[in-house]
Structure 1
Amino acid sequence: MDSIVTPLRQLLYVSSSNPSGAKIDVPTVVEQSRHNNALDGVTGLLWSDGKRFLQVLEGAADSVMTTFARIRADPRHHAIVVLHERNIEAREFGNWTMVQRRPGDDPDALDRKMRRLLEGASQTVRGNFLGLIAARP
């Protein structure tokens, strides 16, 4: 009997923090997301400067869509836009990786780290992240 292969899905979105002015505790969000995503088998990459979020999610299609539904329902996100969505043969980001820029961090060092993490990504995913990095204040 043939084994059933679950298709992998990749979803890339951008969002802004809720305009209500409420501060977002990004380190807490990162830890909570790492936990939830590990349980769901979702991997990817998140870039945030505390005001904007760019994230690619990868995993079984149902897990990615469940994770994205949770993000869409989160009041900390505003103006969520899906930039790219597709089926993939293999994950481009083997481990869940989240990057955030904290006050006092060297932005150039963070940019170099992001470029390394994006080396195996598709042109579309890499281009979106590098565009946001290039526009950083």
Structure 2
Amino acid sequence: MTTLISVIYVSVADPLIREEDIAAILLSARRNNRRDGLTGALIYNGHNFMQLLEGPAREVDACLDAIRRDARHSGMVEVRRRAIDVREFAEWSMLYCPGFEGHDEDLARLAANRRLDPQDERMMANFIALGRRRPTS
């Protein structure tokens, strides 16, 4: 039986990244993830990326290696890796919604329905909130 893993990483987006670049990332990720049996979610908070990626360990690690080489971000750090029995984002090759505006309740609902680990929900919600903070002068 294939071991499934779930990995969450964060990285710093290229400051010159545009919506078109993110659209290209998503197009490629969705195509490749369907091919490789991977699922997950990508969050861009205006400064950083956070991605949850899940699937067979070998395919997840190969995907992460390719992501590390992508010049559209830097400083990639894994913040959580674990073996899983059930995927949290099984329906999505790569869930994405710009800024996840209005999706705080969706994340909380996924956690309440035991579809999303409560710790992952808190981490994602905090990451999104960081992107909404306005710099102080």
User: TM-score over 0.5 for the alignment?
Assistant: yes
2:86 to 85, 90, 94: 90
Corresponding residue for 1:112?
Answer: 105
Aligned residues: CA RMSD: 2.1
Contact 1:42 1:57 in 2 (8 A): yes
1:101 and 2:98 equivalent?
A: yes
Partners in 2 of 1:22 and 1:92 — Cα distance?
A: 28
Aligned counterpart for 2:53 among listed residues 57, 79, 94 = 57
Structure 1 residue 22, shift from structure 2 partner: 4.9
Q: CA shift at 1:124, angstroms? A: 2.5
2:117 to 94, 114, 122: 122
SS at match of 1:79: strand
Please name the residue that 2:5 is paired with: 9
Aligned: 1:79 with 2:75:
yes
Counterpart of 1:44 in structure 2 is: 40
Q: What CA distance in whole angstroms lies between the structure 2 residues aligned with 1:71 and 1:58?
A: 14
TM-score by length of 1: 0.81
2:46, 2:131 within 8 Å by CA — same for their partners in 1? no
Which amino acid in 2 is paired with 1:133? I
- What CA distance in whole angstroms lies between the structure 2 residues aligned with 1:129 and 1:42? 19
Counterpart AA for 1:101: P
80 and 9 in structure 1: CA distance in 2 versus 1, 3 angstrom threshold: same
Q: State the shift of 1:116 in Å.
A: 4.1
Question: In structure 1, what residue type is equivalent to 2:82?
Answer: R
Consecutive unaligned residues in structure 2, runs of 5 or more: 133-137
Number of residue pairs the alignment of both structures matches: 128
Q: Higher helix share goes to which structure?
A: 2
Contact 1:49 / 1:100 at 8 angstroms: preserved in 2?
Answer: no
TM-score under structure 2 length normalisation: 0.81
Q: Identical aligned pairs, as a percentage?
A: 31
Q: Please, which runs of 5 or more residues in structure 1 have no aligned partner?
A: none
